[in-house]
Amino acid sequence: MPHSSGGGSHSGGSHSSHSSHSGGGSRHSGGGSSSSGSSRRTSSTPFPGCKRYLYYKDDKPCLVYSNYDIRKSDKSQFIASIVICAIVFLPFIILSAIFMVKAFSFPKKIEYSKYKHKTPEFVIEDNLGVFENEANLERSMEEFYDATGVVPAVITVTNDTWNQDYKSLEAYAYDVYVNRFPDEVHWLFVYSTAEKEGGFDDWYWEGMQGDNTDPVLTTERVDAFTESLNTRLLQRSKYSVDDAFAITFDEYRPVMMKMQVNQRYILLGSVMFITLSAVAGLTIATSKPHKVPDDYKKAVPCELKAVYQASCNFCGGMYIVGMHTGCPHCGAAIPPQNYIQDPQGNIVKIL
């Protein structure tokens, strides 16, 4: 169905169209315990389900109890974050891309033959007798059609024609359109006037466009056309009514078919993309695998049931008995020691 493309008046200025147009890992701690999640735990004291690890620092043994391998970085949370971001954010990224693509529109000339199988009807009805050069107006309307495929129509009436039976000129223009232009590719303009006391020219005008014109007559283009036309109609000493229409048709004929940039779509697409990128980046960054401390990289599992320390005869560094055949600090051979082992080979007592 047709819809208003905007209009104006002598006293009220122009108005725009009323209808829309298509167109974490664990961290090393110096004592006590630390945790980077509900499942990963390290401690300096044993706890249920833990495993003992041994490393050396400052020539002394250090024991760490953990329920995971402290020598390896946990990447599960990081991978999970990437997968979640991909699943959750991908539709929004696609939507953002769609906004950016839709921001640039390239209008295509309307094929009149698709809607009515005959030559277009250029209607010029000057019931007021205010047109001074109808031939020039018709020429501008035909050239506008040749460029866009939209068929203009201009009708003038008195205010009495509509103000008694219709609530507004827009309602009257709608009625005229649906009864005369079923193809929905016409762009109808109704100009109305009646002189008041004192010579004031009480004129109004209204535009009505068919739904099939929407790909060309977008909101931005039509609003600009409306403003330009109303400005000329206000300059009656410079432009006659038909000149105002003809010149505005000529002005916007090339504009209608140019690429149009929808700033709203660009803004929406950009804001969405930047926001999603920031959220995704922050999510991945906070879930990044934690770097394994250098001390932990040298740790080895210590499965001895009883832990005993002894000092190296050469460097004096301390080591755990039963874990080495050579000093972990200087490499010197560790002399045989007397100790008692259980059936599994674990040292239970130093002699």
Q: What is the pLDDT of residues 86-111, one digit of tens each?
A: 777 777 777 777 766 666 667 788 88
DSSP-assigned states of every residue in 274-332: HHHHHHHHHHHHHTSPPPPPHHHHT-EE---SS--EEE-TTT--EEETTS-SB-TTT-P
| 12 and 154 fall within a common domain | yes
Query: Bigger pLDDT: 22 or 114?
Result: 114
Query: Bigger pLDDT: 209 or 27?
Result: 209
| 13 and 151 fall within a common domain | yes
pLDDT tens profile 183-232: 899 999 999 998 666 667 789 999 999 999 998 998 888 999 999 999 99
DSSP alpha helix (H) spans, the chain:
76-102, 134-148, 169-180, 219-233, 241-256, 263-286, 294-297
Instruction: Confirm whether 31 is domain-assigned.
Output: no
Q: Is 74 helix (H, G, I), strand (E, B) or coil?
A: coil
Instruction: Confirm whether 90 is domain-assigned.
Output: no
Confidence (pLDDT) at 116: 60
| 124 and 236 fall within a common domain | yes
pLDDT band at 253 (very low <50, low <70, confident <90, very high): very high
Instruction: Confirm whether 54 is domain-assigned.
Output: no
CA 283, CA 268: separation in Å to the nearest integer?
Answer: 22
Q: Provide the domain count of the chain.
A: 2
| 10 and 138 fall within a common domain | yes
Query: Bigger pLDDT: 306 or 7?
Result: 7
- CATH number for the domain that contains residue 132: 3.10.310.50
| 14 and 151 fall within a common domain | yes
Domain end (from 258, 290, 313): 258
204-209, strands of its sheet edge to edge: 13-15, 3-9, 204-209, 186-193, 151-158, 123-126
Instruction: Confirm whether 155 is domain-assigned.
Output: yes
Instruction: Confirm whether 221 is domain-assigned.
Output: yes
| 232 and 315 fall within a common domain | no
Calculate mean pLDDT across residues 245-264: 85
Cα 258–124–152 angle (5° rounding)?
A: 20
Window from 9-13, 21-25, 290-294 with minimum mean pLDDT: 21-25
| 121 and 13 fall within a common domain | yes
Confidence (pLDDT) at 33: 44
Give the helix/strand (H/E) hosting 113: none
Mean pLDDT of the residues in the chain: 82
The percentage of the chain sitting over the pLDDT mark of 70, rounded to a whole number, equals 78
CA 221, CA 216: separation in Å to the nearest integer?
Answer: 8
| 317 and 229 fall within a common domain | no
CA terminus-to-terminus distance, the chain: 103
Q: Is-above-0.85 flag for pTM?
A: no
Confidence (pLDDT) at 327: 92
Range of the domain at 220: 3-22+109-258
Confidence (pLDDT) at 28: 40
Calculate mean pLDDT across residues 126-145: 95
Asked whether the beta carbons of 60 and 257 are under 8 A apart, the reply is no
Residue with the two structure tokens 């002399």: 335
pLDDT band at 120 (very low <50, low <70, confident <90, very high): confident
